[in-house]
Structure 1
Amino acid sequence: MRVRLRDFSKSLPMSLLRAREAVMRQFRPSLGRFGITEQQWRVLRALSSVSAIEVLELADATCLLAPSLSRILKGLEERDLVQRMADENDMRRVLISISPAGQVLIDQAGQHSEGIYAEITRRYGAERLAVLQDMLRELDEVMNDGPLIAESLGLDLGTRTPSPSPRRGRPRKGDEPLED
């Protein structure tokens, strides 16, 4: 039995991806000017808001897979933008913090970032942007509250239908396909 899917233009995951791409397209040239990637910027921004954080907490905060984050941290460490240290209370725990050089980079690139945010706010409207951010935060909370919807619907999640061609790119968090 064939299921009639909603129109592709109404796909929530695709709408979110298109909006993300439209926003990130505004920031990429500035990040490139400072020699950092989007993911590196995410890590530095997260670190600039805390004194130190464990790697797994940082992965969660930045929506990065732990193996990807490890590679990113290695590169940032080589550039002396972040530093690792053992937790004084538990030597098995490793904490990550932004270095003074990393903070300088955040301060410099942040000026560009805030200019871009100001233009986004001008184009979209401060009130609409605030409402959008509130709605996205609420959507995140609702989607993360409770079991997966597929589980609630009683869908069998134990086996996967083989895809016609091998997936490319990085695995996603939890390796779930992005479909509606």
Structure 2
Amino acid sequence: MGPIRVMLSDAGVTEQQWRVLRVLDENGPMDPTSIADQAVLLLPSLTRILQKLESKGLVTRIQSETDRRRQVVSVTPEGSALISANLEASIQIFDQLRMQMGEDRYDALLDLLSELNDLDI
């Protein structure tokens, strides 16, 4: 994770903030519970992360038009620009990791992490 942390530090975001931005950028506007599930974060942690991202102008939160008790979170153009500016570096880091580990071991690692995420603990 060292190279990723350096890249994200240079971009001014944490690993968790990056995950939230990527989830929103890939899936479009979402409610916080769905974001937490997709980004593998606890909802209380996500609340703090969204506050920080909103203060940086990287996401917006609005009330749902269909259910006033719910929020809808969207990535802003600035958030999308941050992702675009750093996506190639992120891909290169993971490509290098895949090359160093070997395709089979890398795929096995991703499968194991997915299984771990799916456990009811």
TM-score by length of 1: 0.61
Separation of aligned partners in 1, 2:115 and 2:16: 24
Separation of aligned partners in 2, 1:113 and 1:50: 19
Separation of aligned partners in 2, 1:72 and 1:140: 20
Separation of aligned partners in 1, 2:105 and 2:98: 9
Q: Secondary structure at the match of 2:27?
A: coil
Give the number of the structure whose residues are more often helix, by fraction. 2
Q: Find the partner of 2:81 among 104, 111, 129.
A: 104
Which residue identity lines up with residue 90 of structure 2 in the other structure? S
Which residue identity lines up with residue 103 of structure 1 in the other structure? S
Q: Secondary structure at the match of 1:102?
A: helix
For residue 36 of structure 2, what is the aligned residue in structure 1? 59
For residue 123 of structure 1, what is the aligned residue in structure 2? 100
For residue 52 of structure 2, what is the aligned residue in structure 1? 75
Separation of aligned partners in 2, 1:59 and 1:116: 25
Gaps of 5+ in 1: 1-23, 149-180
Percent identity, please. 39
Is 1:32 the counterpart of 2:9? The answer is yes
> How far did residue 67 of structure 1 move?
2.6
Separation of aligned partners in 2, 1:76 and 1:58: 13
Is 1:138 the counterpart of 2:115? The answer is yes
Separation of aligned partners in 1, 2:83 and 2:108: 27
Separation of aligned partners in 1, 2:17 and 2:11: 11
Q: For residues 140 and 77 of structure 1, do their structure 2 counterparts lie closer, same or farther at Cα, with a shift above 3 Å needed?
A: closer
Separation of aligned partners in 2, 1:94 and 1:140: 25
Separation of aligned partners in 1, 2:117 and 2:52: 30
May I ask how many residue pairs the two structures share in their alignment? 121
Separation of aligned partners in 2, 1:51 and 1:140: 22
Q: What stretches of structure 1 move > 4 A for 4+ residues in a row?
A: none
TM-score by length of 2: 0.88
> How far did residue 139 of structure 1 move?
4.2
Is 1:84 the counterpart of 2:82? The answer is no
